[in-house]
Amino acid sequence: MSENTPNIVWTRIDERLLHGQIRITWGKKSGANLILVANDEAAEGPTAAFQQSAMKASAGGEFAVRFFTIKKTIEVIHKASPKQLIFILCNNPTDIADLAEGGVPIKHVNIGNMHWHEGKTQLTRQVSVDEKDIAAFKRLRALGVKCEVQNTPDVSPVDFFDIYKEEA
């Protein structure tokens, strides 16, 4: 099969990966017909079968769903059919940066739920980051990828770097 530019219609970071809100809000807004969960653990981890079953149920049959590792996504994304309107879903910015650096043509990232955990700094109600996350967002910025925090479509998106203020 020849190499194509994949028709990526939406890319989102959501720690929970595929769940009902994705289908009901972002899936419909994006116009996607395929949700690609790009996540090593969900694709091949010890609980992958359970995770995939739950996520496919969340998709409600409205979308085709694929589970690929980051490496496999980079390897096969350019073989996508032009009819596939792809929604890429990752649970952290490092995976998105790896995809973009690997040649996946991501132009925009919608940042949703990145929950607070020990060692993270809360930037908004829905977004908490650590140094690894910040480094990934800087990698994305260097590639020209627009990174916007927007939990749901009914709120205005805000540029990540307008929220995260670097120390001088």
Residues with a known catalytic role = 19
Torsion of CA 70, 74, 80, 83, to 10 degrees: 70
Phi, psi for residue 162 in degrees, rounded to 5: -80, -25
H/E element holding 142?
Answer: helix 131-142
- Axis-axis angle for helices 131-142, 93-101 (nearest 10): 30
